[in-house]
Structure 1
Amino acid sequence: MAWRRRYPFHWMSRDMEDLMLDMERMWGPTAVRILPPGGIADRMLPAIRGEFRVDVRDLEEEVIVVADLPGLEKEDISVSLINPVTLEIATFRRMESEEREKEYFVKERFSGSMKRIVVLPREVSEERANASFKNGVLEIRLKKAAVDKGTRIPIE
């Protein structure tokens, strides 16, 4: 009961969660893209949905993706190259113990799964790809795929 007195507008939180789920259905990775990748939508929607943030670097010979995943263990993370320009990072966080919600004064940490689809700036190859995880930071290094530059066509 004390919890309800501190948060009299608890129903607003539930409505916001429903709204965010609707937004994810509309603008999520499987939805039809209205805006081109790399714009404001790609930068802001992860923060709105409560997802982890990533940095993507486009270097001369490789693409580097860095994700902040505090509080996770290496075993809780899965990385998949869906296609040459799309990377999926999935996580699952377990709570230490089952505790009733009424015992909390504030509960902002969550348990469950998160998934992030990252659009890469160039086509990459799964060969020689590697990932490391240290101090809550995941770093994925992907070598760029060889691009055929075409052949010269002689002019008659």
Structure 2
Amino acid sequence: MRRFDPFREVLDLNRLFAEAFAPIGRGVSIPRVDILDEGDEILVKAELPGIEDKNQIELYVQKDHLIIKGQVKDEMEARNDKIYRKEIFAGSFERVVYLPVEVEPAKATAEYKNGILNIRLKKAQDNLRGFKVDIQ
């Protein structure tokens, strides 16, 4: 269970409005993520289209959130063709993903394959079980 944090709720609401009113094809919505509970781990799957090399990705893990940064190269930039429409995102992006439980940042692992970044995060022990309170 996550403790209520009004500031986090406001940030989440701001992100939702930014995504809803952003121009199509601009990087606000990337990377899209799925967060799964796998017992003693959290699995975050991030979709990163256009990233060919894992070295184009930066990943930072904190106790209650992670930050995914990257750079998608623009293949049309070097071409001299006339462009009628450009909706495929190119450029830098950053996404802060708030986690449903606290994790141990030092135990995080990540793997990038076929456009999907899989991040495994070990849950902090305090979240797995409660603690006994002595009654006075």
State if a TM-score over 0.5 links the two structures.
Answer: yes
**1:78 and 2:58 aligned:** yes
TM-score by length of 2: 0.72
For residue 112 of structure 1, what is the aligned residue in structure 2?
91
1:42 Cα offset (Å): 5.9
Aligned equivalent of 2:45: 66
Alpha-carbon offset, residue 33 of structure 1: 4.9
String of CA shifts for 1:130-150, please: whole Å, max 9, x gaps: 101111011000000111733
Query: Which stretches in structure 1 are left out of the alignment for 5+ residues?
Result: 1-31
Q: Matched residue pairs, number?
A: 120
More contact order relative to length (CA 8 Å, sep ≥ 6): 2
The alpha-carbon distance between structure 1 residues 130 and 34, as it changes in their structure 2 partners (threshold 3 A), is closer
Q: Deviations over 1:41-95 (max 9, x none)?
A: 76675464343210111232011100111120211111101x3001000111122
Distance 1:118 1:34 in 2: 13
Partner of residue 118, structure 2: 139
Match of 1:93 in 2: 72
Aligned position for 1:150 = 131
In 2, are the aligned partners of 1:46 and 1:53 still within 8 Å (CA)?
Answer: no
CA distance 1:55–1:150, change in 2 (3 Å): same
* Shift in alpha-carbon separation, 1:77–1:46, aligned structure 2, 3 A: farther
How far apart, in 2, do the equivalents of 1:70 and 1:86 lie?
Answer: 22
Q: Which runs of 5+ in 2 are unaligned?
A: 1-6, 23-27
User: Partners in 2 of 1:36 and 1:105 — Cα distance?
Assistant: 36
Q: Does 1:127 align with 2:91?
A: no
Alignment TM-score, normalising by the size of structure 1:
0.64
- C-alpha deviations, 1:5-49, integer Å up to 9, x for none? xxxxxxxxxxxxxxxxxxxxxxxxxxx555485xx7766754643
